[in-house]
Amino acid sequence: MVQVTFNSAKATKSEDVLKTTFTYENAIVEKGEAGALNVTPTKTDYEFKTELKVPKLGLMLVGLGGNNGTTLVGAVLANKHNISFETKERVVKPNYYGSVTQSSTVKLGVDAEGNDIYAPFNSILPMVNPNDFVVGGWDISKLKLDKAMKRAQVLDIDLQKQLYSYIDDIEPLPSVYYPDFIALNQKERADNVSNIDAKGEVDLKNKWKDVEKIRKDINDFKAKNKLDKVIVLWTANTERYSEIIEGVNDTAENFIKAIKENHEEVSPSSVFAVASILEGVPYINGSPQNTFVPGVIELAAQYKSFIGGDDFKSGQTKVKSVLAQFLVDAGIRPVSIASYNHLGNNDGYNLSAPKQFRSKEISKSSVVDDIIESNEILYNDETGRKVDHCIVIKYVPAVKDSKVAMDEYYSELMLGGHNKISIHNVCEDSLLATPLIIDLVVMTEFFSRVTYKKVGASDDSYDNFYAVLTLLSYWLKAPLSKPGFKPINGLNKQRLAVENLLRLLVGLPVNNELRFEERLL
């Protein structure tokens, strides 16, 4: 680990606490007549407090025995025990490539000659090392992890064989299963279900009991492993969307009531979310369904318990959030984006059902919304305010975990000209998603150690960030936003927010590219 020392008058360290002052500057814009804009700079002084002691962290995955779950366990153990393995090409040493927190760098500043100097992302402030994760969780399939890993067909055989002795006794906890929410083709897999009645049938009449069972599982896991903190993350099958119904899931009170009355629109993922919130445990949704119905968001705010979602942003959508931003920022007008995918893992199998595909379609299609809204020259009442966005996903068993994505961006140029960009991307799905899980967990835990207060406020106590942890948006396809605010989808904006937070917490100025060392005499 690179040792970095920060010399800033804005930061003071005492024992395991770092306190930092920061002036947040922005601009408030008022719209006047005939499109006139009145801009007023603003600034607010804050004091941040960062707890520097790293806790012993437990990670409970919903979908522990799936592709992502077994790949994450394999990655953690391979890195922890320094397990190298042989492929047909070479010997591979364990690494965390694809993880921002473990394999990327942050610009610190410049040297005496004006050259940029970078340091590892996780060297700026103390963060949990994924090698130290204590991993457990639930799955509707009872396969032990060695057999589940073999079923997933993600990791090389030589690596799997070396991992078996570490995982052959790990068996997922029984999970909640409501058949209406996932594809019928998953029924055969569901042999490890907690909500079973005396006749051996799936019980849909005790959903509050399911909440209490999950809460007990979390507490038992924490006590058994002597953990300081636990994070729960959903990486199980995509569910269908829950219908938003007034009086059912629109408020926290109504949703708790709906669970206790076993309403049909209460999903398993929302049950896991409520259980986590009531335990004060952060909950992250890595699938595209609307787990966080308004009542769940309100409950999280009431309990000041972190939630983050939705859907891992790994391949095609990550590229889309960069390329669409590039085109619009360049003054080029995308008029259509056509995206095609085919994949052969169990996620693809589940998504072959129409209702589950619809959840994925929604999360993929929203990724360019804020980018389009940012430019009224290109998108207005005359030209149209939307992009034709077509998304197709097909299940092709032969390609297994290698997802094939093809995109066509069709754009309008000056004076009726057109531009077409076509991309063909083949990626190993779980090996892209697993580093995102690592980052989401590492950063969620880190953010839980950061508090703030407004300088000069009547209440001098420190607060946590708002319950909807929008700083996680970089890693999520359809980022959840605070009620009343629109989500930010542009990848560069999302990354800059996280990087600048780290900088201000150690007393550095937020990043800019003015480069006066070079540009001024």
CA distances from 160 to 60, 72, 116, 372, 481 (A): 22, 12, 41, 45, 39
Domain 57-105+127-312 has CATH 3.40.50.720: yes
φ, ψ dihedrals at 158, nearest 5°: -60, -40
Q: How wide is the angle at C-alpha 514 spanned by C-alphas 508 and 519, nearest 5°?
A: 130
Task: Please name the amino acid found at residue 113.
Answer: E
Domain 316-429 has CATH 3.40.630.30: no
- Given CA atoms 440, 445, 447, 448 in this order, what sign does their dihedral have? positive
User: What pLDDT score was predicted for residue 427?
Assistant: 83
Tens-digit pLDDT string for the chain (521 aa): 788 889 999 999 988 999 999 999 999 999 988 889 999 999 999 999 999 999 999 999 999 999 999 999 999 999 999 999 999 999 999 999 999 999 999 999 999 888 999 999 999 999 999 999 999 999 999 999 999 999 999 999 999 999 999 998 899 999 999 999 987 888 888 899 999 998 999 999 999 999 999 999 999 999 999 999 999 999 998 899 999 999 999 999 999 999 999 999 999 999 999 999 999 999 999 998 999 999 999 999 999 999 998 889 887 788 888 899 999 999 999 999 999 988 877 776 666 666 666 765 666 677 888 888 999 999 999 999 899 998 888 888 888 778 888 999 999 999 999 999 999 988 888 999 999 999 999 999 999 999 999 998 888 899 999 999 999 999 998 899 999 998 898 889 999 999 999 999 999 999 988 888 888 88
Please answer whether residues 430 and 68 qualify as being in contact, where contact means their C-beta atoms are separated by less than 8 angstroms: yes
User: What pLDDT score was predicted for residue 215?
Assistant: 98
φ, ψ dihedrals at 172, nearest 5°: -60, 150
Q: Where are the domains of the chain?
A: 57-105+127-312, 316-429
Q: Residue 284's closest CA among 265, 302, 305, 303?
A: 305
What is the C-alpha to C-alpha distance for residues 173 and 151, in angstroms, rounded to an integer? 18
User: What pLDDT score was predicted for residue 364?
Assistant: 64
Query: Structure pTM?
Result: 0.93
**Which positions are annotated as active-site residues?**
311, 360, 403, 477
CA distances from 335 to 371, 381, 388, 397, 420 (A): 13, 14, 6, 33, 10
Please answer whether residues 297 and 307 qualify as being in contact, where contact means their C-beta atoms are separated by less than 8 angstroms: yes
What is the C-alpha to C-alpha distance for residues 408 and 411, in angstroms, rounded to an integer? 10
CB atoms closer than 10 angstroms to residue 353 = 18
User: What pLDDT score was predicted for residue 399?
Assistant: 80
φ, ψ dihedrals at 307, nearest 5°: -135, 150
CB atoms closer than 10 angstroms to residue 52 = 12
Q: Do domains 57-105+127-312 and 316-429 have the same CATH topology?
A: no
What is the C-alpha to C-alpha distance for residues 476 and 373, in angstroms, rounded to an integer? 20
292: tokens are 């966080």
What is the C-alpha to C-alpha distance for residues 294 and 233, in angstroms, rounded to an integer? 19
What is the C-alpha to C-alpha distance for residues 476 and 362, in angstroms, rounded to an integer? 13
